[in-house]
């Protein structure tokens, strides 16, 4: 009976929509509006495979189990209050796939919208109108507080003006209001903002006046939190799919202690750089201690023993090796590194491909032995290898790019592990710390490095390898690996890696 009720719920919503507000809900229109489906050609319908792919992409972006089916959880998420901007690049505009990985076909919208940013240090804004639901002073305070979240992490300032032209116009409107993006009444789309650029509406931010806007209340929709999200778009950011990020498209309710997530900060600083952190005041040095003469001793020194011969890394049994690092490859395979060798995993990602391991330089020309870290940037299609104070960059077919290796500076020297998050951010680990990295970063952006436990609570230090694999994070140390649960911010389990990764003994799922 319970199962019948579940299917009845899905059937009602699929055909009749959100009955509580008396308006039909068109799933195809929703998927088109937010980038998951191309717009229908006149007189044509979407084929079932396109619709299934779109639902899978939405489920993946929203952190739901990927089934391709329009189930209850998926419909519930679609009906959640949200921002009016797209989440992903529509299928016809995506980069063609290069391998056999599904995520090539579901390429997410890059977090920072390339080319959309303000070319000035001070941005002005003006209220073109107000809502009658809150005092004007409350609305001004909410917008000011929302701007201050971004001001704290990037070198932009925002100033309200009451007359003349302004870079950003803020207004409360409803239904069709002249910008080509009509609102839909109570529920659904709450607000939208336009990226910086050369058009007349660049940066403009609109709130649906048919929503119930509140402040410091769990009732209705909190204006300040929605404004902080929309103003992220107004400075050039797209949507994030990182759990806890302010730039998630879905409204998560009132949180009096809301703040920018590391992903929000990384996105903003990738456009504008970080604010210059104040220099710490140097501590006075203590006076030198007096040198004490060592006492004479008549004890004979013990004889020096030669260390026992150790097994060379190249002679290690494959089922007992430690990874220097492990990375996804542009061909959809996994590559693990150990001293002079590279191991290519087979198509099932369990066990080693024939003719491997191979000398690392046979696969990656001029690569160093005993690498520090490796990571594949799937958005820019570049493979990076790090060691000491240098990094190597490889393009198609693992060809070393001209001008590489290049220098790493400051904290970025001696990176131990690296992985790329689903939003494209490359995170690098060293000792007990983690930072974000891009080629144009000479130093970590403001707020980094941070303790590894800030990014992955409960994770240990001095990790030797890391990878993002099938939307899960894995970390390696010694003969073990750890799977990390991003949703619940904890280590799921620790296992011996020989079986699941190297195809040795009893092979268990990863």
Q: What is the DSSP string of 262-325?
A: HHHHHHHHHHH-PPPPPPPPPPPPPPPPPPPPPPP--PPPPPPPPPPP---GGGS-GGGPPPSE
- Quickly state the pLDDT bin for 335 (edges 50, 70, 90): very high
pLDDT exceeds cutoff 60 at 76: yes
Residue of 16, 64, 55 whose CA lies nearest to 34: 55
Mean pLDDT of the chain: 83
Full DSSP string of 376-401: EETTTTEEEEEETTEEEEEEGGGEEP
Euclidean distance between CA atoms 117 and 103, whole angstroms: 27
Contact 235, 271 (CB under 8 A): yes
pLDDT (tens digit per residue) in 177-223: 988 889 988 988 999 999 998 677 889 999 999 999 999 999 999 99
Phi, psi of 73 (to 5 degrees): -65, -40
Q: What are the strands, taking DSSP E only, across 103-177?
A: 122-127, 157-160, 168-173
Residues with a catalytic annotation lie at: 230
Euclidean distance between CA atoms 324 and 338, whole angstroms: 5
Residue of 60, 70, 476, 101 whose CA lies nearest to 243: 60
Rounded to the nearest angstrom, the gap between the alpha carbon of residue 452 and the centroid of all alpha carbons in its chain is 16
- Quickly state the pLDDT bin for 104 (edges 50, 70, 90): very low
pLDDT (tens digit per residue) in 352-399: 888 888 999 999 999 999 999 999 998 888 999 999 999 999 998 899
pLDDT exceeds cutoff 60 at 14: no
Could you give the domains of the chain?
2-97 (1.10.101.10), 122-272 (3.40.390.10), 313-502 (2.110.10.10)
The answer to whether the bond into 140 is cis (omega within 30° of 0) is no
Q: Helices 136-151 & 223-234, crossing angle to 10 degrees?
A: 50
Q: Indicate the helix (H) or strand (E) that contains 358.
A: strand 358-359
């Amino acid at each position: 009976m319970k199962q019948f009720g579940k299917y009845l719920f899905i059937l009602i919503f699929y055909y009749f929509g959100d009955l509580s507000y008396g308006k039909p809900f068109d799933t195809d229109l929703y998927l088109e509006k937010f980038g998951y489906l191309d717009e229908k050609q006149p007189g044509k319908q979407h084929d079932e495979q396109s619709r299934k792919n779109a639902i899978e992409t939405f489920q993946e972006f929203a952190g739901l189990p990927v089934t391709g089916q329009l189930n209850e959880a998926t419909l519930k998420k679609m009906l959640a209050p949200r921002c009016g901007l797209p989440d992903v690049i529509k299928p016809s505009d995506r980069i063609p796939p290069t391998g056999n990985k599904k995520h090539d076909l579901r390429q997410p919208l890059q977090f920072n919208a390339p080319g959309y940013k303000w070319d000035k240090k001070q941005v002005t804004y003006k209220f073109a109108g107000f809502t009658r639901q809150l005092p004007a002073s409350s609305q001004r305070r909410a917008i000011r507080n929302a701007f201050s979240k971004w001001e704290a992490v990037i070198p932009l300032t925002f100033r309200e003006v009451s007359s003349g032209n302004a870079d950003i116009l803020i207004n409360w409107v409803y239904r069709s209001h002249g910008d080509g993006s009509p609102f839909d009444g109570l529920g659904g789309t709450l607000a939208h903002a336009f990226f910086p650029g050369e058009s007349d509406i660049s940066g403009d931010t609109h709130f649906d006046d048919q929503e119930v806007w509140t402040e410091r209340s769990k009732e209705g929709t909190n204006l300040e939190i929605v404004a902080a999200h929309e103003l992220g778009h107004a400075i050039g950011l797209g949507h994030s799919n990182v759990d806890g990020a302010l730039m998630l498209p879905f409204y998560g309710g009132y949180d009096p202690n809301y703040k920018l997530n590391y992903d929000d900060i990384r996105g903003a600083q990738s456009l504008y750089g970080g604010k210059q952190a104040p220099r710490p005041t140097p501590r006075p040095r203590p006076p030198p201690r007096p040198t004490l003469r060592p006492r004479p001793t008549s004890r004979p020194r013990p004889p020096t023993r030669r260390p026992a011969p150790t097994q060379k890394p190249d002679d290690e049994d494959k089922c007992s090796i430690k990874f220097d690092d492990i990375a996804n490859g542009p061909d959809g395979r996994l590559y693990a590194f150990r001293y002079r060798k590279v191991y290519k995993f087979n198509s099932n990602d369990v066990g080693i491909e024939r003719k491997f391991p191979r000398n690392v330089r046979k696969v990656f020309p001029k690569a160093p032995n005993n690498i520090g870290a490796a990571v594949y940037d799937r958005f820019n299609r570049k493979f990076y290898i790090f060691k000491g104070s240098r990094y190597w960059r490889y393009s198609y077919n693992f060809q070393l790019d001209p001008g590489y290796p290049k220098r790493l500076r400051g904290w970025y020297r001696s990176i131990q592990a690296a992985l790329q998050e689903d939003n494209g951010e490359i995170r690098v680990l060293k000792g007990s710390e983690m930072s974000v990295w891009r080629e144009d970063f000479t130093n970590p952006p403001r707020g980094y490095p941070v303790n590894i436990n800030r990014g992955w609570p409960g994770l240990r230090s001095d990790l030797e390898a890391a990878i993002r694999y099938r939307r899960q994070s894995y970390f390696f140390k010694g003969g073990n690996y750890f799977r990390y649960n991003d949703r619940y911010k904890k280590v799921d389990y620790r296992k011996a890696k020989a079986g699941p990764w190297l195809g040795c003994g009893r092979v268990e799922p990863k």
